[in-house]
Amino acid sequence: MTEDTTNLVNVDLSGQVAIVTGASQGIGKACALDLARNGARVACLARNAEKLAATVGEIEAAGGQAAAFACNVTDRESVDQVVDQIADEWGRIDILVNNAGITRDTLLPRMSDEEFDDVINTNLRGAFLFMRAVSKHMMSARYGRIINMSSVSGIQGNAGQTNYSASKAGLIGMTRSFSREISRRNVTVNCVAPGFIVTEMTAVLSEDILKQAKAGIPARKLGQVADVAACVTFLASGAASYITGQTLTVDGGMTG
């Protein structure tokens, strides 16, 4: 697998089935690769079929197991159908990583209804739909790990990202609430909140912007997708069985 191996976490996920949304690139791809490296069979979901096929190909080339599934994360029927399909074909669902997300950045006075609704529907409603769909399988099995991808923008806000920050803050609240409902069934629900991470999106930023970003990070460097994936893998493992309702920031000290 072509992944950054700087911060690997080694756990045993053999025989487990994981769903990763937004698995075609960036953090989602890194999570899918790392879960597969640790033995999980990974259902990779995303809109870009070509990039998704590349993720599956990397996993399989390294000896792992994965498959691509098409799904509109904002559509209840589509989500319910794909979750039931995975459970029927693979026999179980142990891990859910709600990573699919979009941005529609602009200042609030200029933000259209569509720009607000699109981000909330994908980032927050999509996670809700998947949590609800997998919960019946996890409760029946009396085991599960749900990891929602929030952001430091959901903790401290960010100018021009009112919609995005609202969606990521909503994920934190939803995580805390659902963890209280389902913990007695041996299902944990946690958030990971990345800071400034090197991805395809940051690659197009100017050097000046990147310098400004680093200056605001106590660690004085940008994070890597492997940093986030390692935290997700840990939370998905048995080692994190007594951690639930929490938000783990991966931000080099941005939020203090």
Cα–Cα distance, 253 to 256 (Å, whole number): 5
- Which residues, including other chains, have CB under 8 Å from residue 92's CB and lie 6 or more apart? 16, 17, 137, 141
Q: Which of 69, 130, 164, 178 is catalytic?
A: 164
With 0-12 / 13-18 / 19 or more C-beta atoms within 10 angstroms meaning exposed / middle / buried, residue 84 is middle
Give phi and psi for 68, each to the nearest 5: -95, 140
Pair 21, 28: CB distance under 8 Å: yes
Query: How far from the centroid of its chain's Cα atoms is residue 215's Cα?
Result: 26
CA distance 118 to 182: 29
Contact between residue 21 and residue 15 where contact means Cβ atoms under 8 Å apart: no
Helices assigned H by DSSP within 38-158: 49-61, 76-90, 113-120, 126-141, 153-156
CA nearest neighbour of 74 among 35, 128, 149, 27: 128
Q: Is 164 a catalytic residue?
A: yes
Which H helix or E strand runs over 112? none
d(CA 236, CA 14): 12
138: phi > 0 → left, psi -120 to 50 → alpha, else beta; which?
alpha
DSSP class of residue 194? E
Cite the active site residues: 164
